[in-house]
A and B are shown apart, each in its own frame.
Chain A
């Protein structure tokens, strides 16, 4: 057999170096793509104290703080009248809040909306089954790391965020989460 070409040796080195460079880069790219869309990044607020807030109620404009609800699980649902999937989610929230009446407090936080629009929307969608607070400047939404609406947080009776859901809630999952905190 003839001897192998003298160029074979360097090629192996180049391939090895290439693999050492390309494989980690591919891994980084795969990880980057797996993080998209950004709403699916785990919230750093999980297992942390829920950010305090003071917001006016939609009905009477009276200021409400999160502390008011301490002592029972709180379901904090960010929504808006311009949100496409909120009409689908609303009946589920109403039904589940009825089921946990007196055991868990549901609170709606209206994001970037106006009072008149909110009242009309609620009247059209079966009324206000639980308090709605108005976050016109979006300050509370920022404190909760909101990506869009709807988003739902489940806060335990000590004020710690135990669950966050981006997009319309899964009713079964929400019921499970609340029951686990009772």
Chain B
């Protein structure tokens, strides 16, 4: 069920169930906001599902849930 992703693939393009630990963020602006919300390098992230009309996804980060737009999800690089 848990697929290991190579970081070249943006998070929004990975299949449901993809999980891993956050390595870093490739957009510093989005990254700093995500960090303030508790998504840190080392946090466990899992793609729970994709948005009904595309473009975003629903992720679980450690013990909470986040809805992210495509570019927000894609700024997260997993280890």
A joins B in a complex: no
